[in-house]
Every structure is written in C-alpha cells, then in structure tokens.
Amino acid sequence: MSEYKFRYHPDPLKTGIFKNDKSMTCDCCGKRTDVYYTGPFYSVENVDYICPDCILSGKAADKFNGEFQDPVSMDEVSDPAKTDELIHRTPGYCGWQQEYWLAHCDDYCAFIGYVSWQDLVDMGIEKEVMETYRNDVCMIPSEYVKKELSAGLNGYLFKCLHCGKYFLYTDID
C-alpha cells in the first residue's frame, strides 16, 4: 500500500501512475522528490513532473490551472466537492484512448488498477463485473480484456467506496 492517501486512487505506486525510479524536481513546488506523477494532466502549460504532495494539496491544479481528469469523461455525482477532489486532487490513470472515471452510490469509485480478464477470474469477481457492466461507457468485457496498454481491449478496475462492488471500464484501440 502506498503512503499517499488518495481516496479515488488509493495506491498510485502499485498502479504505476507514480514512479520512484529516480529523483526529480517537482514543476510545481520546485522541491526534489523520489516519487513523481506520470499520468495525464490537462493544462495549457507543459508540466513534466509533479510530486504527490502538490497533487494531494491541490497546488498543482491551482498553479497550472490544470485537471487530472477530463470533466466530460466521468460519471456525475451530486456533491461538487467530490468532483473537485477527483479533478484537482486525485492522480489520474492512463488509458488507451480516453480515460473515464466511474461512479456508484453517488460517489466516485476508487481506481484499483489495470486488469486482464484472467485477473478478474483470479480475484473471483468476473461474475460481479459482468453484472455491473455498463454498456453505456465501455466495450463488452470478455476473455480478451488485457491489462497492458496496447492494441486490443484494455481493462481498468474500479471499486465503489460505499457498497464495495467492482466495476470494469474498457476501451479499445
């Protein structure tokens, strides 16, 4: 488990969106960091490295007038504070085409990671994922879902923070 506590992306080191392979200087605060963000950041400025603290505090989004999630590529929830947290203080994830953030129980789900169909089978949740599958936002899940971001059907696993149900978002090349 990561030491960085993001409600909607609980383990960004495990998902690979944070890297810790070298020391970098954060473009936001100017401090050296051994952990840095490698995911999408929507801003007119070119930002290469952001430390976890500047994401968590919202400083990076404020300084660069940026967003970690495209607001039109996410489900809606009723509380604007939750949307603000997701867009401005939560590390995103990398998708093949366009990342999409799922919600359930009127809150955003936690991004668990990239998964293949076999991962879902190994976790024992493939039937649940088929039951929670939403054809309005993703391709039909199947044995062709893979976790590597490459040509084909890619899988992104989410979990509801309230009821604990798993959801799969997929996209294809």
The percent of residues in the chain predicted with pLDDT above 90, rounded, is: 76
- Average per-residue pLDDT in the chain? 91
* Range list of β-strands (E), the chain: 18-19, 24-25, 32-33, 36-37, 103-104, 107-108, 110-115, 145-146, 153-159, 166-172
More confident residue, 147 or 13: 13
Output 96 or 2, whichever has higher pLDDT: 96
pLDDT of residue 150: 66
Residue 128, CA atoms < 13 Å, CB-side half-sphere: 16
Question: How much is the average pLDDT of 5-9?
Answer: 95
Map residue 1 onto helix, strand or coil: coil
| pLDDT band, very low/low/confident/very high, at 5 (cuts 50, 70, 90) | confident
Exposure on the CB side of residue 97, measured as CA atoms within 13 A: 15
Q: Beta partners for 75? A: none
